Amino acid sequence: MPVSYRILPDRGLVYVRYEGYARLDDTFEAFARYSRDPDARPGQKQFVDLSRLTGFERDFARLMELQANKADVFHGHHAQTLVLYYAPTPISRDIARHVVRSWRDVPSVIALVQDSESEALALLGLSETSISQLVERAD
């Protein structure tokens, strides 16, 4: 699947990874699974890895619908959620720019974009300097 997630409960973190072409249907499905996951918690930081993205569906009306669904889940618990987009390529920065803009009027979500892997992890308060290190330690 082009989008997957992994909850790292001891870190209060959800690692989301996109690969290939990002379709909104896949993202809706993955987020629905996450919202029902027994390890999902209010206020979990979301680390969205867009480094393997090759393209994305440009249906901005549906993107806004998706973000509204996410906002309902994030805000419904009265917790603030940090969403950090790791976007080291031109395509990933393009989608990150659109997504961050969609969070602008949602005070319960703090959305950031970072193009450095180690700086993204540091902003999340993690000691690892690479995603592979983070995933290894979670296993």
State mean pLDDT over 110-127: 96
**Residue, of 79 and 114, whose pLDDT is higher:** 114
Residue 127 has pLDDT above 70, yes or no: yes
Residue by residue, DSSP assigns 5-30 as EEEEGGGTEEEEEEEEEE-HHHHHHH
pTM: 0.90
pLDDT in tens, 58-75: 887 787 788 777 877 776
- The residue to which tokens 């940090």 are assigned: 82
Over the chain, what is the mean pLDDT?
Answer: 90
Q: How confident is the model at residue 77 (pLDDT cuts 50, 70, 90)?
A: low
Predicted local distance difference test score (pLDDT) of residue 70: 82
Strands 45-56 and 109-114: unpaired
What is the side-by-side strand order in the sheet with 45-56? 3-8, 13-22, 45-56, 81-86, 109-114
Place of tokens 């989301």: 16
